[in-house]
Structure 1
Amino acid sequence: MITFMGLHHVSLAVRNLEKARVFYSERLQLKEIQRPPFDSKGIWYAVGEQQLHLLEHPGGDTLRERGIDTIDGHLSVWVKSYQETKDWLDQQEIPYEARPDSIAGFAQIYVLDPDRNIIEFGAPYHETDHL
């Protein structure tokens, strides 16, 4: 039997690492963390106790082309405030699809990164109900 301890990281493929860095580091303001000197190009980020790994994949054959499709593979990040997240995305001029009353049991906001990877921000229905 496997004893699961938690999710360590999620890796996303990107076509252009510097373009991805602008989105994740500057616009979303995730914190970059040290990455081992692999032969491949990449950037690692801290997301709470977990990590997000961006891996440059110049061929792009594994990357999606469509818009937001919530039944497609995506990364979901829990945020403290639905409204603050929406306000930040508006300030950064990042388009999103908002679902404040989602049947998921929590509010959801979906965005696309420059390579059309889907990112979901999940938040409590009520700002005082955060974890």
Structure 2
Amino acid sequence: MIHFEKIHHVSLAVRDLEKARVFYSELLGLREIQRPAFNSRGIWYAIGNQQLHLLEHANGETLRFGAIDTVDGHCAFWVSSYKDTVAWLEQAGIPFEARPQSIAGFTQIYVLDPDHNILEFDAPYESK
């Protein structure tokens, strides 16, 4: 039997690493961490005790082109505040789809990165 402890990282394919760096580092404010010298281009980020790995793959089969589709594969992050996250996204000019009263049991906010990877930000319900 495998005894799982946690998710270590999620990897997303990106077409243009520098364009992705602007989105993830500058707009979202994620903290970049050191990445080993692989024979590929990528960026690693720390998110709590887990990591997000961006891998440059200009013609990868996993790259999306469509709009937000919450049934499609996506990466979800737990954030501390729905209201603060919405305010940050609005201030940064990042389009989003918000579900403040989601039946999931918590709030949900969906965004697309420059390569149409779907990112979900989840937070506890907040009083109005």
SS at match of 2:43: strand
* 1:58 Cα deviation from its structure 2 partner: 1.3
Within 5 Å, give how 1:22-33 maps onto structure 2: 22-33=22-33
Equivalent-residue separation in structure 2 for 1:61 and 1:89 (angstroms):
29
- TM-score scaled by structure 1? 0.95
SS at match of 2:68: coil
Query: Residue 16 of structure 1 aligns to which amino acid in structure 2?
Result: D
Counting aligned pairs with the same residue, the percent is 69
Query: Residue 86 of structure 1 aligns to which amino acid in structure 2?
Result: V
Equivalent-residue separation in structure 2 for 1:20 and 1:106 (angstroms):
28
SS at match of 2:18: helix
Give the CA RMSD over aligned residues: 0.8
SS at match of 2:10: strand
SS at match of 1:23: helix
Within 5 Å, give how 1:48-127 maps onto structure 2: 48-126=48-126
Equivalent-residue separation in structure 1 for 2:19 and 2:40 (angstroms):
17
SS at match of 1:108: strand
* 1:62 Cα deviation from its structure 2 partner: 2.2
Equivalent-residue separation in structure 2 for 1:70 and 1:18 (angstroms):
26
Gaps of 5+ in 2: none
Give every structure 1 segment of 4 or more consecutive aligned residues whose post-TM-superposition deviation is greater than 3 Å: none
Equivalent-residue separation in structure 2 for 1:118 and 1:15 (angstroms):
15
- TM-score scaled by structure 2? 0.97
Equivalent-residue separation in structure 1 for 2:87 and 2:116 (angstroms):
21
SS at match of 1:58: coil
Equivalent-residue separation in structure 2 for 1:34 and 1:82 (angstroms):
30
